[in-house]
């Protein structure tokens, strides 16, 4: 599903490599944490997957396809296959919960009848059916993150990438968000959670990939964050 083959990313000749000879494979339907301290290379990993940047050397593959070979016109179609959940929500403040989720379908030309059918199902999955007509400023941080998740999964992505999805949330709300992501994963979506939340990682007991100074230093299938104190 996701494969990095000898991937190195250097932003500037005078700076250290952001990623150094990284090799990894994430299979279809896996739930994986990517962990590491600030500057370890986590953001670079996400940008490479979204084709916001290209690897300096090596190959990044999604579903067996080398994404560096995609034309500029093809990149938006790649991104439609990827659901992304950001820490800072990025919701449209002038749109309701329903409208925020529906918008992700509207911009790719989905018909209104499909939107009316799918949006309520997505909101039900994240437990927000009762908040459909509310606006982002009327929601808690946890509720806003649930809207972001609903928006990310509305077009049935094969891969869901979550960038610090619990970074601004309290422990109880964080566990609720993780339970939702786990449920999405059970339906067959590959889930990659990028985080520095060692406590949550150790609770979840999923596969853990650890980056340190650009190197992939650990691949722990038993779900342990080796940098946890």
> What pTM does this model have?
0.89
Same domain assignment for residues 65 and 176: yes
Same domain assignment for residues 63 and 38: yes
Alpha helix (H) residue ranges in 154-212: 171-186, 198-204
Same domain assignment for residues 25 and 71: yes
Q: In this structure, is residue 17 part of a structural domain?
A: yes
CA distance 84 to 188: 16
Q: In this structure, is residue 228 part of a structural domain?
A: no
The residue ranges of the chain whose pLDDT is under 70 are: 13-15, 222-229
Q: In this structure, is residue 229 part of a structural domain?
A: no
217: left (phi over 0), alpha (psi -120 to 50) or beta: alpha
Q: What is the CATH number of the domain that holds 43?
A: 3.40.50.300
Measured over the CA atoms of residue 133, residue 111, residue 125 and residue 84, the dihedral's sign is negative
Q: Which residues lie closer than 8 Å to 87 by C-beta, 6 or more apart?
A: 163, 164, 165, 167, 168
Summarize pLDDT for 156-189 with one digit per residue, the tens.
999 999 998 888 788 888 899 999 999 999 999 9
Same domain assignment for residues 149 and 197: no
Domain that holds residue 108: 86-155
Same domain assignment for residues 20 and 63: yes
Q: In this structure, is residue 56 part of a structural domain?
A: yes
Total domains in the fold of the chain: 2
Q: In this structure, is residue 147 part of a structural domain?
A: yes
Q: In this structure, is residue 61 part of a structural domain?
A: yes
| Res 229: pLDDT | 41
Residues in the chain: 229
| Res 224: pLDDT | 64
């Amino acid at each position: 599903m996701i494969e990095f083959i000898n991937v190195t990313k250097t932003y500037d000749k005078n700076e250290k490599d952001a990623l150094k000879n990284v090799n990894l494979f994430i299979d279809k339907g896996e739930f994986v944490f990517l962990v590491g301290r600030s500057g370890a290379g986590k953001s670079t990993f996400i940008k490479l997957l979204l084709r916001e940047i290209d690897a300096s050397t090596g190959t990044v593959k999604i579903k067996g396809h080398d994404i560096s070979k995609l034309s500029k016109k093809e990149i938006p179609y790649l991104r439609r296959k990827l659901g992304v959940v950001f820490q800072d929500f990025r919701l449209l403040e002038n749109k309701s919960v329903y409208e925020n989720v529906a918008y992700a379908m509207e911009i790719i030309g989905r018909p209104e009848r499909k939107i009316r059918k799918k949006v309520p199902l997505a909101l039900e999955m994240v437990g927000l059916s009762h908040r459909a007509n509310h606006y982002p400023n009327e929601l808690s941080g946890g509720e806003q993150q649930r809207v972001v998740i609903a928006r990310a999964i509305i077009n049935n992505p094969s891969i869901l990438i979550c960038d610090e999805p619990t970074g601004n949330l309290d422990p109880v709300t964080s566990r609720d968000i993780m339970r939702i992501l786990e449920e999405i994963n059970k339906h067959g979506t590959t889930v990659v959670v990028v985080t520095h939340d060692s406590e949550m990682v150790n609770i979840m007991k999923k596969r853990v990939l650890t980056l340190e100074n650009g190197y992939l230093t650990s691949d722990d299938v038993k779900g342990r964050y080796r940098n946890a104190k």
